[in-house]
Amino acid sequence: MTVLDASLQVDLGEFDLDLDLRCGQGVTALLGANGSGKTTALKALAGLHQLTSGHVHLGADEWAAGRTHLPPEARSVGMVLADPLLFPHLSLLDNVAYGPRSRGMPRRTARARAAEELARVGLSDLAHRKPAQVSQGQAQRASLARALATDPELLLLDEPLSALDPETRSRTRADLAARLRSYPGVTVLVTHDALDALTLADHLVFLDGGRVTQTGTPAEIVARPRNAYVAGVVGLNLLSGTLATDPGPHLLLGAAASAPRSTAGRLVLADAPDGAQAGDPIWATIAPEAVALFTQRPHSSARNVWQLSVDAVTVTGPRARVHLTGEVDLVAEVTLAAVAELGIVGGTQLWATVKATEVTAYRA
């Protein structure tokens, strides 16, 4: 099995990247805020940035190490960007055949190879159309076919779905996932989109300031995010504090290093994390849908109750995410009907409750 072994140290003056990657067959996703180093990493793997130090090995091949620096055209790399960048005067078939042709493959053989790859992404019927005659999603699938038609050992995807509208993005994501499952090489995906990462990738790597902050499988990341950005990507509220056990297990919030912003407060737990002692730093996650909202202080069994202020409201389909601030910072997910019924707008004072059984706590 081909393995990518890369130690990427790149000094761009105003920014430096220091990233170690070891990836086998499958998809590794790089995530992080703008400027975290994701695209710099892809360019270093492609040979578009020269390493300050480190190495890039793919299987038995050495692409970069010491004075060795193979240029992009000498590396077995396919790349897909947000813009398909198809030649407008060529058919989809000839666009896809361009890669094999540029590497010396005879025209007839290259077109046969292109037709095979177009069939794999469901575009056989559109092979002779020009890019202007197909949809955005179809053009992006053709771009993927073009990248794979040279049989690269490494496939680099830089926000490949970001330019698509939501409906097209959903369909194209499913097509991309199906094609990647049969691709025998190593794939590195850069994305801001949690759904892209969680549905396409086998392994997630989070970057901040050119450094790794957390890695793991999607299931591991969802179960135990380690900073506010990671928690936000997977759609969870993240709080931190120190464990107290009297009169029952709870967190004294805001007392852990690198905690999301919060003032003095407490979070009642159903149980203390296994092996944790009083005074230990603890992370806790709460799903937004577990946060209930009220206009008056409720009479309920929930043991966590706060009066908070609405900071912002964002709508996604039939539901809304209500961003709350105060003693704790939380995001609640409610229906649009609830937004109207509760009169939720910026600045509204609401009571938020969370049952102790809805809190997942783990050691920092």
Q: Two tokens at 202?
A: 């086998």
Going by pLDDT thresholds of 50, 70 and 90, the confidence category of residue 169 is confident
Q: Are residues 96 and 216 in the same domain?
A: yes
DSSP reduced 3-state for 186: strand
Residue 219 inside a domain? The answer is: yes
pLDDT tens, residue by residue, 112-124: 999 999 999 999 9
- Cα distance between the two ends of the chain: 35
- The number of angstroms, rounded, from the C-alpha of 114 to the middle of its chain's C-alpha atoms is 30
CB 176 within 8 A of CB 161: yes
At which of 173, 192, 223 does a domain end? 223
Q: Are residues 286 and 318 in the same domain?
A: yes
Residue 230 inside a domain? The answer is: no
Is 106 exposed, middle or buried, given 0-12, 13-18 or 19+ CB atoms closer than 10 A? exposed
d(CA 254, CA 267): 11
Residue 255 inside a domain? The answer is: yes
DSSP reduced 3-state for 240: strand
Q: Are residues 92 and 201 in the same domain?
A: yes
pLDDT at 264: 53
Count of domains for the chain: 2
Q: Are residues 161 and 282 in the same domain?
A: no
Tokens 């042709």 locate to 101
At which of 174, 202, 223 does a domain end? 223
Q: Are residues 62 and 163 in the same domain?
A: yes
CB 323 within 8 A of CB 313: yes
Residue 130 inside a domain? The answer is: yes
pLDDT tens, residue by residue, 314-338: 998 889 999 999 989 999 999 999 9
pLDDT tens, residue by residue, 171-223: 889 989 999 999 999 999 999 888 899 999 999 999 999 999 999 999 999 99
Q: Are residues 242 and 293 in the same domain?
A: yes
Q: Are residues 85 and 218 in the same domain?
A: yes
d(CA 41, CA 19): 8
CATH number for 32: 3.40.50.300
CATH number for 330: 2.40.50.100
pLDDT tens, residue by residue, 241-276: 999 998 899 999 875 434 444 445 889 999 999 999
At which of 223, 254, 274 does a domain end? 223
Q: Are residues 80 and 183 in the same domain?
A: yes
**Is residue 15 pLDDT above 60, yes or no?**
yes
Q: Are residues 218 and 292 in the same domain?
A: no
Residue 231 inside a domain? The answer is: no
Q: Are residues 63 and 84 in the same domain?
A: yes
d(CA 317, CA 299): 31
Residue 159 inside a domain? The answer is: yes
Domain containing residue 159: 4-223
User: Whole-number mean pLDDT of the chain?
Assistant: 92
Q: Are residues 262 and 358 in the same domain?
A: yes
Residue 200 inside a domain? The answer is: yes
Residue 71 inside a domain? The answer is: yes
Q: Are residues 152 and 275 in the same domain?
A: no
Q: For 157, how many CA atoms within 13 A lie in the half-sphere containing its CB?
A: 32
**Is residue 293 pLDDT above 90, yes or no?**
yes
Would you tell me the crossing angle of helices 136-148 and 92-102 to the nearest 10 degrees? 20
Is 148 exposed, middle or buried, given 0-12, 13-18 or 19+ CB atoms closer than 10 A? buried
Is 322 exposed, middle or buried, given 0-12, 13-18 or 19+ CB atoms closer than 10 A? buried
Q: Which residues contact 244 (CB under 8 A, 6 or more apart)?
A: 250, 251, 252, 266, 278
pLDDT at 52: 95
What is the per-residue burial (b if ≥16 Cβ within 10 Å, else e) of 273-307? beebeeeebbbbbbbbebbbbeeeeeeeebbbebe
